[in-house]
């Protein structure tokens, strides 16, 4: 008879958002399979828990667990996020929105942005955001759920959530435990390795007990207790491209009415986030310790928010980069233990989602096939690099001259993958797309246009178009979007009607 080589015992180390999302999703995916999932966390150890902004993939994630949008909004004291508003990034007076949605309508197999570029070349300088329903809703402080059958791309947009990450982790824990995940509240004193293959054999707890398993998932945060502390997977530092290595996180009082977008404001040595929840506002300052002292950064943050805080700022130190091997032996790192990219585009939770998804697709047997490990690591590397490049672009395109930080950001040598993207865009208005891209062309277009980094020309096929007719056609698009927004309730009205939390 063949030997049963299936994974029977899976152990997750660390709770928080990453640990409980992993536990809930895997328990749901492997229902009835006989897989036992145990999560070890210590109530004496805190979690980072500052991530309060997401991208739309989070909604697909919790919907796969049977949770509904409005229920999650209520449970997490959440608000709607239609995109991110960048203030002061191009120069001190600039502002634009990166939306969760598309721009205009493609015609005759030619992307919409080429028509927009054609009109600009003819002297018509219309804001690209006027062709995005998500941008128009965000600017107007309005929201309604997207149409399930949009009549045209002018009606297409998506949305995400601002939420209390601690409350979301609790919701994930409740979901996971209903699905049979067992929780152990303990500290890990020692990681025991198998001397024959270097795999993790068991975890010695402070209670004296030892927990064994076939596969271990490291969700222990920056520490990387298993993947680095025990497995020595190595870390690739990306500080030569991303200069920020510190963050201050604080909580302020609620903004009324809450805007349906995250706000990121450029500062002397980094940027400040403003994330509105129903019961509070998340504030933070991500900065470079090479360009400002910790005390001056805190003073700058307090001055910007007026000192009206519920809690004093908490400092977080990080090294931007990724684990060289997100999967080594019988240990898979998910969340901060696998690497960290600053929260400029709210990617931390999304990278947890994709880490879980990759593990589902490549779930091993007990002998841990190296081919699966290599595929997981290659996918993880490429995905992290793609997100890294997108974030680098925000800094590199700035035109600020007021501080050394912004000048230094502009002077970096771009990674080859980003250089090719930028050159193809600048020369032809062409969007290069790689595998494992988290951000689609509309997102790249939002950043290029927001920083006024536009191609030298446009698609020559548009030379055959009558410019006045083209102008009237695009004006019709803008009017259709404006009319739609005028008929929508305000964001506050939507929250009050469907997801209001009394605190």
| Largest separation between any pair of C-alpha atoms in the chain | 79
With CA atoms as reference, report the closest residue to 337 among 215, 217, 224, 200: 224
- The dihedrals phi and psi of 290, each to the nearest 5 degrees, come to -80, -15
Q: Residue 463 carries which DSSP code?
A: G
- The dihedrals phi and psi of 203, each to the nearest 5 degrees, come to -120, 120
Contact present, 491 and 258 (Cβ < 8 Å): yes
From the list 81, 328, 358, 421, the catalytic residue is 81
With CA atoms as reference, report the closest residue to 357 among 334, 374, 378: 334
Q: Please spell the DSSP secondary structure of 260-295, one letter per residue.
A: SSEEEEEETTEEEEEEE-SS-EEEEEEE-TTTS-HH
CA 301, 283, 409 angle in degrees (round to 5)? 65
User: In which residue are the tokens 């997801």 written?
Assistant: 499
Q: Count CA within 13 A, CB hemisphere, residue 492.
A: 8
User: Is 312 exposed, middle or buried (CB count within 10 Å of its CB: 0-12, 13-18, 19+)?
Assistant: exposed
With CA atoms as reference, report the closest residue to 203 among 11, 332, 44: 11
Q: In what helix (H) or strand (E) does residue 454 lie, and over which residues does it extend?
A: none
Whole-number Cα distances in Å, 223 to 219, 230, 344: 9, 11, 22
Distance between CA atoms of residues 12 and 26, nearest Å: 11
Residue 427, Ramachandran bin (φ over 0: left; ψ between -120 and 50: alpha; else beta) = alpha
Contact present, 100 and 111 (Cβ < 8 Å): no
With CA atoms as reference, report the closest residue to 151 among 487, 482, 484, 376: 484
Distance between CA atoms of residues 250 and 314, nearest Å: 6
Taking the alpha carbons at both ends of the chain, their separation in whole angstroms is 61
With CA atoms as reference, report the closest residue to 191 among 349, 40, 1: 40
Q: Count CA within 13 A, CB hemisphere, residue 154.
A: 19
With CA atoms as reference, report the closest residue to 303 among 352, 351, 268, 263: 268
**Residue 74 designated active-site:** no
CA 109, 114, 116 angle in degrees (round to 5)? 125
> Which residues form the catalytic set?
81
């Amino acid at each position: 008879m063949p030997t049963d080589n299936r994974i029977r015992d899976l152990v997750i180390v660390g709770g928080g958002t990453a640990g409980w999302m992993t536990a809930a999703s895997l328990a749901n995916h492997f229902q009835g399979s006989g897989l036992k999932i145990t999560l070890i966390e210590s109530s004496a150890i805190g979690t980072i828990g500052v991530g309060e902004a997401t991208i739309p993939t989070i909604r697909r994630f919790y919907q796969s667990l049977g949770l509904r949008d409005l229920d999650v909004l209520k449970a997490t004291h959440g608000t709607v996020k239609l995109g991110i508003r960048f203030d002061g990034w191009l120069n001190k007076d600039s502002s634009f929105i990166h939306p969760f949605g598309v721009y205009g309508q493609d015609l005759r197999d030619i992307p919409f942005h080429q028509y927009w570029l054609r009109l600009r070349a003819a002297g018509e300088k219309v804001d690209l955001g006027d062709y995005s329903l998500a941008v128009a809703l965000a600017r107007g402080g309005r929201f309604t759920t997207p149409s399930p059958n949009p009549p045209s791309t002018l009606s297409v947009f998506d949305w995400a959530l601002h939420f209390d990450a601690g409350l979301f982790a609790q919701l994930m824990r409740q979901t996971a435990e209903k699905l049979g995940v067992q929780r152990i509240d303990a500290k890990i004193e020692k990681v025991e390795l198998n001397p024959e293959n270097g795999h993790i054999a068991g975890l010695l707890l402070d209670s004296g007990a030892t927990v064994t398993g076939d596969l271990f998932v490291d969700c222990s945060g920056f520490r990387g207790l298993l993947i680095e502390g025990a497995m020595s997977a190595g870390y690739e530092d990306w500080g030569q491209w991303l200069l920020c290595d510190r963050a201050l996180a604080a909580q302020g009082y609620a903004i009324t009415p809450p805007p349906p977008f995250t706000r990121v404001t450029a500062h002397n040595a980094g940027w400040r986030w403003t994330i509105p929840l129903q019961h509070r506002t998340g504030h933070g300052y991500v900065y470079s310790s090479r360009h400002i002292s910790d005390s001056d950064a805190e003073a700058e943050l307090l001055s910007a928010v007026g000192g009206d805080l519920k809690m004093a700022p908490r400092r977080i130190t990080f090294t931007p980069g990724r684990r060289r091997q997100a999967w080594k032996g019988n240990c898979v790192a998910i969340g901060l233990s696998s690497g960290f990219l600053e929260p400029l585009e709210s990617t931390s939770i999304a990278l947890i989602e994709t880490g879980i998804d990759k593990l589902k697709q490549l779930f091993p047997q007990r002998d841990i096939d190296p081919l699966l490990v290599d595929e997981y690591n290659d996918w993880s590397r490429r995905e992290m690099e793609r997100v890294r490049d997108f974030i680098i672009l925000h800094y590199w395109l700035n035109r600020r001259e007021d501080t050394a930080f912004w000048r230094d950001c502009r002077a970096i040598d771009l990674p080859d993958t980003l250089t090719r993207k930028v050159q193809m865009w600048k020369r032809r208005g062409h969007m290069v797309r790689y595998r494992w891209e988290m951000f689609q062309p509309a997102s790249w277009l939002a950043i290029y246009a927001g920083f006024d980094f536009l191609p030298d020309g446009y698609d020559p096929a548009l030379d055959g178009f009558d410019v006045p007719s083209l102008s009237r056609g695009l004006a019709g698009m803008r009017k259709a979007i404006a009319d739609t927004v005028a008929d929508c309730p305000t964001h506050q009205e939507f929250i009050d009607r469907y997801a209001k939390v009394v605190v």
